Every structure is written in C-alpha cells, then in structure tokens.
Amino acid sequence: MNKIAQECKKILLENNIDIFSEIDFDVNGKMHTFSFEYIIDTYMQASEESQLVFLSALQKALEADNMGVEKFFEGMGQLLLMTHLSEKFQG
C-alpha cells in the first residue's frame, strides 16, 4: 500500500470512521456497493498528483464533519461507477 493510501486510511481511523463503511448505488435496479476502502484503493491507482488531490479533498471533507466524509465518499463512488459503466458501454 502506498504512503498516500496509508495516510487516507489513518485519517479515517483517527476520526473513528469505519473504513469498511459501504455506500450503495442503484443503477437501473441493480445495486452496486463500494466500501470506503475500495474507493480509496481504486483512486490510489491514479497518478501521484491525483492521489494528493484525493487526500486533500478527504481532509477538507473531514473539516466539514462526518457528514462531509459521507458525501465525499458518495461523490467519489459515483465517479468510479460512472467511469466503470462508461468503459463497459464503450467496450
């Protein structure tokens, strides 16, 4: 696990946020479930610059309180889902 991913997970742990929390997305009646850990690990496959942007956005979400964190992961999960569905549609 890279250093930025470790930092993201450490931040959640320090703020008593369960890394295994899940967010469900309903796409045309089909449920897709992503854990916070999965979202972090997936974004950590991007460039180092993108990883740092993710970390910075997570820190800002924490400043907004735990609801900010939930919204943050919901938004990041939606982006992953849209990317996945877009790749599936094109392929």
Domain that holds residue 38: 3-90
pTM to 2 decimals? 0.87
Find, among 43, 70, 65, the residue nearest to 54 by Cα. 43
Domain count, the chain: 1
Tens digit of pLDDT at every position of the chain (91 positions): 699 999 999 999 999 999 999 999 998 899 999 999 999 999 999 999 999 999 999 999 999 876 789 999 999 999 999 887 777 666 5
- Residue 48 burial class via C-beta count within 10 angstroms: exposed 0-12, middle 13-18, buried 19 and up: exposed
Tokens of 30: 């089909």
